[in-house]
Amino acid sequence: MGIRINKKRNFLFVSRLLGKHLAVDPAIALGTGSILASMLLESEGEKPHPQLNEIVQMVNSGVPDRALSATSLAYKAKLPTKTVFIGFAETATGLGHAVFNHFHDAAYIHTTREEILHLEPSFYFEEEHSHATSHRVYAPEEILMEAETIVLVDDEITTGLTAINLIAALNKSFPRKRYKVLSILDWRNDDQRSEFDHVMKARSISAEVISMLSGQFSLSNDASIEENELTYLNEYKEFDVFADEALATPVTSTYYSAHAAYNTFTGRFGLTDDHHDEMEIWIQKLIHKLPSIDRKKSTLVIGVGENIYIPLRFALALGEKTKVQTTTRSPIYAKNEKLYPIKHKCKFTLPDSNGIDQYVYNLSDVEAEQIIVVAESVKESTTWFPLLTHLETFAPVTWISLTMPFEGVE
Domain ranges of the chain: 26-214, 241-251+266-401
Strands 322-326 and 178-186, bridge-based pairing: unpaired
| Same-fold call for 26-214 versus 241-251+266-401 | yes
Q: Find, among 303, 214, 373, 372, the residue nearest to 29 by Cα.
A: 303
Position 406 scores a pLDDT of 63
Position 135 scores a pLDDT of 79
Position 225 scores a pLDDT of 73
| CB of 217 closer than 8 Å to CB of 187 | yes
Strands 106-110 and 271-272, bridge-based pairing: antiparallel
Per residue in 329-350, is it b (16+ CB within 10 Å) or e — as a string?
bbbbbbeeeeeebbeebbebbb
Q: Find, among 178, 186, 236, the residue nearest to 203 by Cα.
A: 178
8-state DSSP, 161: H
Mean pLDDT (10-residue bins), the chain, 410 residues: 80 92 97 98 98 98 96 97 95 96 96 90 69 74 94 94 89 94 96 96 96 90 74 94 94 92 94 90 95 93 96 97 95 91 95 90 93 95 96 96 70
Q: Find, among 344, 384, 375, the residue nearest to 23 by Cα.
A: 344
- Spelled out in words, what is the top-level CATH class assigned to the domain 241-251+266-401? alpha beta
3-state SS assignment for residue 289: helix
- The dihedral sign for the CA sequence 14, 16, 17, 19: positive
Position 349 scores a pLDDT of 94
Q: Find, among 89, 96, 112, the residue nearest to 29 by Cα.
A: 96
- The dihedral sign for the CA sequence 28, 33, 35, 36: positive
Q: Find, among 24, 19, 28, 53, the residue nearest to 38 by Cα.
A: 53
Position 154 scores a pLDDT of 95
Count of CB atoms situated within 10 Å of the CB of 254: 9
CA 215 to chain centre: 24
| CB of 90 closer than 8 Å to CB of 306 | yes
Helix and strand element counts for the chain (H, E)? 11, 17
For 26-214, CATH number? 3.40.50.2020
Beta-carbon-side half-sphere exposure of residue 104 (alpha carbons within 13 Å): 6
